[in-house]
Structure 1
Amino acid sequence: MAKVIENPRQLILTHAREILSEKGYSQLTMRGVATACGIALGTIYNYFPNKNDLMVEMMSDYWKTFQSEVDLILGGSGSFSKKLQGIYHSLEGFVGIFRVEWLKPELYQAEEVMGSSRGRKFQAIEMLAARLAKWMEVEGIRFKVMSSREAAAFVVMNFLAMIQTPLVDYTVLEEVILSLLEEEGRGSAN
C-alpha cells in the first residue's frame, strides 16, 4: 500500500529550502529533495516538473512572507524614513536568500521558466511599488518631480539595485529620496 503523505507539496518545499540554505543552489537536486523528504523521486516531479519550477515556487512563497512584512511596516507607527528603512531591510533579507539564484542566467534561460519566473519576479516588484505608492498617496506624501507611482518604482528599483550591488550606503539613498519630497506634501514623512 502506498504511503500517504500529509501536504506533500509543503513537505517538498520545506526540505528544498533547507537544502538551499545549507548547501546552496548547486547542491539542490530533485533526487536530494526526494531523499530528504523520504518519498519517491516521481512524487517530486508530480508537483514540480523541474528544479527551476521548484525554485520559482520557493521564491514565490518567500515573497508572500515579505509582502506580509511590508504590510506590517506600512501599517505600523513610525516616520516615512523608518518605514522605508524597514522595507529596505526586509527586502534585503528576501533577496539575500535568493541573490545568487536571481542572478543566475540558467534560471531564466529555459523557455518554460522564462515566462513564469521572470514574469512573476517583475509582477511581484510592480505589486510592491503599487502598494508603496498607494500608501504614500493615503499618507499625503508627495514628491517634487514625480507621481507617487513613479516615486514608489524609483524607491523599489533603487532598493533592489543597492541590495544586489551594494556600491552606496543605504543612508545616501534615503537622503536622495527625502530630498525629492515636497515640503508641504510630506504627510507623515517626519
Structure 2
Amino acid sequence: MDSTEPTAWGDAEGRRRDILRSAEKLLADSGYAALTMRAIAVGAGVSSGTVYQYFDGKEDVFVALMSARLADMTTTLDELDPGVGITGVLSAILPQVRELWRLFGRSAQQWESKVLAGGPKGKRAVTSATVFRRMARALEKALRTAAAAQGVALVDHPAMAYWVWDSLIGVADDLVHGGSLQARVSAGRLVEFATEAIERGIVAR
C-alpha cells in the first residue's frame, strides 16, 4: 500500500500495514538498532500504545516483516512454470532475494539469532522459522521439478536447498553493493554466471 492517505479509523488491517511499512523503512534506512517501537509509531502516525496493540515488541515486528517477504517468495516458487529450467527458477526468485537483502541484510544476524538459532522463542519467532523452512521446501521442490523437466536429477542431500539459498544471498549482496561492478562485470553477466554455477553445483553427476 503506497498511498500516503491516513488509514481510516477502524481499519485494523490498514493500520497494521502502516506499522509494518514504517518499520521496514527504518530497517532499510538505519538498520536494526533504529527499530524502536517509538520510532515505528512516529513513522506510522500512531501512538506507541497502538503499535503494542498489534505487536509485542520490535522483535515481533521484525520477524513479521521477514515472514511476509519469505511467504511472498514461497508463492513465487509455487507458481513457477517448471519449463523455465533450473537457472530460470533461480533468476525468477533472485529479485525478491535481492530486495530482502537490501532491506534486511544489515539485520540478518539478529533475525538468525532470534529465529533460526536455538533457545526460547516467542510465538511469532517460531512462526517465522516455520515460514523460512516452508520457503526452503518450496525452493527445493521448484528446483527438482525444473530439473526433471530438463531431464536431469539433482543431488540428494538435505542441505541442498539451504546451500542454494546461501548462494543466492551472496549474489544478492553483490548486486546490492555493486561489488562485481568494480571489476566491470555487469549485473546481468553476474546473474547469468552465478545461476549457471549454482546449477552445475546441484546437478547430480
Tell me whether the two structures share a fold, i.e. TM-score over 0.5: yes
- Cα separation, 2, equivalents of 1:90 and 1:31: 29
Name the SS for the 2:84 alignment partner.
coil
Cα distance change of structure 1 residues 106 and 133 upon mapping to structure 2, 3 Å threshold: closer
Q: Check conservation: 1:19, 1:33, Cα contact below 8 A.
A: yes
Q: CA deviation at 1:47?
A: 1.5
The one of the two structures with greater contact order (alpha-carbon pairs below 8 A, sep at least 6) is 2
**In the alignment, what sits opposite 2:72?**
65
Cα distance change of structure 1 residues 4 and 47 upon mapping to structure 2, 3 Å threshold: same
- Cα separation, 2, equivalents of 1:125 and 1:113: 15
**Would you say 1:142 and 2:153 are equivalent positions?**
yes
**In the alignment, what sits opposite 1:187?**
none
The one-letter code sitting in structure 2 at the alignment partner of 1:91 is V
- Cα separation, 2, equivalents of 1:162 and 1:32: 32
- Cα separation, 2, equivalents of 1:52 and 1:40: 18
- From 7, 10, 22, the equivalent of 1:15 is 22
- From 29, 35, 40, the equivalent of 1:33 is 40
RMSD: 3.7
**In the alignment, what sits opposite 1:159?**
168
Instruction: Give the unaligned 5+ runs of structure 2.
Output: 1-7, 181-189
Q: How does 1:117-132 map to 2 (within 5 A)?
A: 117=125, 119-120=126-127, 122-132=129-139
Cα distance change of structure 1 residues 29 and 178 upon mapping to structure 2, 3 Å threshold: same
Question: Identity of counterpart residues, as a percentage?
Answer: 20
Larger Rg: 1
Q: CA deviation at 1:100?
A: 1.0
Q: CA deviation at 1:98?
A: 0.7
Structure 1-normalised TM-score?
Answer: 0.69
Q: CA deviation at 1:56?
A: 1.0
- From 107, 128, 137, the equivalent of 1:101 is 107
Instruction: Give the unaligned 5+ runs of structure 1.
Output: 184-190
Cα distance change of structure 1 residues 71 and 96 upon mapping to structure 2, 3 Å threshold: farther
- Cα separation, 1, equivalents of 2:27 and 2:194: 33
**In the alignment, what sits opposite 1:82?**
88
Cα distance change of structure 1 residues 45 and 80 upon mapping to structure 2, 3 Å threshold: same
**Would you say 1:4 and 2:15 are equivalent positions?**
no
CA deviation profile, 1:44-71 (whole Å, cap 9, x unmatched): 1121121111111111122222223333
- Cα separation, 1, equivalents of 2:10 and 2:50: 10
CA deviation profile, 1:55-102 (whole Å, cap 9, x unmatched): 111111222222233334x22753322222232343222122111111
Name the SS for the 1:142 alignment partner.
coil
Q: Check conservation: 1:48, 1:54, Cα contact below 8 A.
A: yes
The one-letter code sitting in structure 2 at the alignment partner of 1:28 is L
